[in-house]
Amino acid sequence: MGRRSDRRRVLRLRDGVATARPDTLAVEEPLEIRVRSPGGAGAARFVTTMRTPGHDEELVAGLLFAEGILTARDELAALERPADPRIEAELRANVLVASLAPQALARAQGLQRSTVMGSACGVCGRTEIGRVLTEGTRPLDSALSVSGELLHALPARLRESQSVFARTGGLHGAGLFDASGRLLELREDIGRHNAVDKLVGAHWLAGKLPLSECLLLVSGRAGFEIVQKAFFAGIPVLASVSAPSSLAVELAEAAGITLVGFLRERRFNVYAHSRRISAP
């Protein structure tokens, strides 16, 4: 696993007093994702994303799953670092090659080529929601029920386990909890979306989706794409310590997801499907 934090000398000013001291930073490095057919020679770059090293395989699986490129587990034949000995180790650590089944590879290529269009196309919130809830997709109907007291306890549990955040203040966390409020898994990353992709990717790789009896807590805001990732993973309750966006609320409503925001200081708001929050 790559370094997740880095030490630097910084100048600290506090009430006008300057001191030079070491500081710990969250590491940010690019990760290049390439796709190819199994045994194929040339790999094409799919995307380069800035991320905190660590759990890279999970990040790639989660990202390709969230983009709708990977569906069934057997569509991913392999996830490997480039074998070419001409590549320096430092560069190799920032590249992952995904070997995809033909239909998944075609989806990846289609996504990259879909740039030319008729002038009558357009996008809006409804369009985006329609891309997530395609025909035949059903909203989540998990009967999971959680109490307000259980929700109040989650942020502290996430923070206690966020070891790198504690030292850098620079990483987002995504925590998966069971119905009793136990933290099952935590991922951290400089990018909010990456932390969720790593978490979902880990379970997708292990064949453990959908997560119908779980809660997801994210340390930042809940935008449209975070709700989309929760939906694809089958997670019925999504909580954020901060604000959701308008479109996140609309998607949560349509997707059957209980969306909780501003979960802090013994309060929270429920923006969609409050039926899963049991009365005190």
Task: Pick the closer one to its own copies by CB: 86 or 182.
Answer: 86
Query: Rounded distance, CA 119 to CA 256, Å?
Result: 34
184-213 residues near its own copies, rule: CB under 8 A: 190
Binding mask 115-154 for its own copies (x = CB under 8 A): xxx-xx-xxxx-xx-------------------xx-----
CA 83 to chain centre: 28
Judged by CB under 8 A, the residue of 114, 134, 141, 180 near its own copies is 114
19-58 residues near its own copies, rule: CB under 8 A: 23, 25-32, 34, 41-46, 48, 50
Query: Rounded distance, CA 124 to CA 105, Å?
Result: 28
Binding mask 222-261 for its own copies (x = CB under 8 A): -xxx----------------xxxxxxxx------------
Binding mask 158-177 for its own copies (x = CB under 8 A): ----------xxx-------
Q: Is 18 in the site for its own copies (CB under 8 A)?
A: yes
69-88 residues near its own copies, rule: CB under 8 A: 82, 84, 86-88
Judged by CB under 8 A, the residue of 77, 91, 101, 144 near its own copies is 91
Helix (H) / strand (E) containing 215:
strand 215-218
Q: Is 183 in the site for its own copies (CB under 8 A)?
A: no
Q: How many Cβ atoms are within 10 Å of 123's Cβ, its own excluded?
A: 8
Q: How far is the CB of 185 from its own copies (least distance, A)?
A: 23
Q: How far is the CB of 173 from its own copies (least distance, A)?
A: 13
Residue 107 burial (CB < 10 Å; 0-12/13-18/19+)?
A: buried
Is 121 a residue of the active site? Answer: yes
Q: How many residues bind its own copies (CB under 8 A)?
A: 83
DSSP SS3 for 34: strand
Which one of the listed residues 11, 41, 89, 121 is annotated catalytic?
A: 121
Query: Rounded distance, CA 23 to CA 134, Å?
Result: 47
Which tokens sit at 235?
Answer: 């997670």
Q: Are 226 and 248 in contact (CB under 8 A)?
A: yes
Q: How far is the CB of 156 from its own copies (least distance, A)?
A: 16
Q: Is the peptide bond before 210 cis (omega within 30 degrees of 0)?
A: yes
Backbone angles phi, psi at 46, to 5 degrees: -90, -50
Q: Are 217 and 158 in contact (CB under 8 A)?
A: yes
Q: Is 65 in the site for its own copies (CB under 8 A)?
A: no
Residues labelled as active-site residues: 121
